[in-house]
């Protein structure tokens, strides 16, 4: 008789746990999970990974590109069965900031493109890109015969995520081509540029480590 009572209690508790959605995370995933369950679990996992975008950081310090990425991430969180608290407000704040910047740009009218200057700084052994007279990015290098080893690319604060790394790398590759030198990419900036611009890879085909 005691054994039957224990069995009944166990079945009751398991039924309650199955019905209660709030306790579902305390139980192991069912052995036979359906594809729909897998998709739900994946969406919840993406939601937790994207909750960094719900922080209270000042949106005015983010670049427009970062705001667009943030808007897409938060929208994905909203497009789930259980959006995290604050997602709606965060999405609206990001959209408002993007709208404000768009209005400001229209009021300012056409903006003159920044004045870019490229140079090979032989003293510091680095290629440099200046924008309106300020150092925006540089790429350290070393020479090995007729080969230029691209060692370390840096974007300066205030110039990040604006495409100046790509501009610098294009100048570097054209400069190297003009001097009939070979390129050995050894930093993320160079690898990323060559991956996105295969027309320049021929200059690096004979690179040595």
In this prediction, residues 25-52 reach a mean pLDDT of 47
Cβ atoms of residues 93 and 56 within 8 Å: no
What average pLDDT does the segment 85-92 reach? Answer: 86
Q: What is the pLDDT of residues 160-194, one digit of tens each?
A: 888 999 999 999 999 999 999 889 999 999 999 99
* CA pair distance 127, 164, nearest whole angstrom: 13
Considering only 73-87, 100-114, 190-204, which range has the smallest mean pLDDT?
100-114
C-alpha to C-alpha distance for 88 and 28, rounded to whole angstroms:
31
Residues 23, 17 contacting (CB under 8 angstroms): yes
User: In percent, how much of the chain has pLDDT > 70?
Assistant: 70
- pLDDT the model gives residue 41: 47
Alpha-carbon gap, residue 95 to 89, rounded angstroms: 10
Q: What is the pLDDT of residue 51?
A: 53
In angstroms, the CA 69 to CA 62 distance is: 11
The reported pTM is: 0.47
Question: Residue 166: what pLDDT?
Answer: 93
Q: How far is CA 175 from CA 76, 142, 178, 187, in A?
A: 43, 15, 5, 18
Output the CA–CA distances (angstroms, integers) from residue 19 to 28, 35, 75, in the order listed: 15, 20, 29
Alpha helix (H) residue ranges in the chain? 2-19, 35-49, 64-78, 87-108, 164-178, 188-196
Give phi and psi for 154, each to the nearest 5.
-135, 130
Please report the pLDDT score of residue 8 as a whole number: 44
Q: What's residue 139's pLDDT?
A: 96
């Amino acid at each position: 008789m005691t054994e039957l009572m224990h069995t009944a209690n166990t079945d009751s508790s398991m039924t309650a746990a199955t019905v209660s959605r709030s306790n579902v995370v305390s139980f192991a995933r069912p052995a036979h999970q359906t594809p729909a369950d897998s998709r739900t679990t994946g969406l919840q996992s993406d939601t937790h990974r994207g909750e960094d975008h719900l922080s209270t950081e000042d949106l005015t310090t983010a670049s427009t590109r970062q705001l667009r990425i943030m808007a897409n991430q938060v929208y994905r969180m909203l497009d789930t069965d259980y959006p995290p608290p604050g997602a709606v407000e965060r999405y609206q704040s990001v959209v408002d900031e993007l709208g404000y910047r768009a209005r400001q740009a229209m009021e300012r009218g056409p903006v003159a493109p920044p004045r870019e200057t490229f140079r090979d700084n032989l003293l510091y052994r680095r290629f440099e890109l200046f924008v309106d007279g300020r150092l925006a990015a540089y790429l350290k290098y070393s020479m090995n015969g007729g080969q230029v080893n691209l060692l370390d690319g840096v974007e300066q604060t205030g110039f990040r995520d604006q495409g100046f790394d790509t501009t610098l790398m294009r100048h570097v590759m054209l400069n190297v081509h003009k001097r009939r030198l070979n390129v050995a990419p050894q930093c993320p900036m160079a690898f990323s540029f060559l991956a996105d611009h295969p027309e320049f890879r021929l200059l690096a085909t004979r690179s040595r480590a």
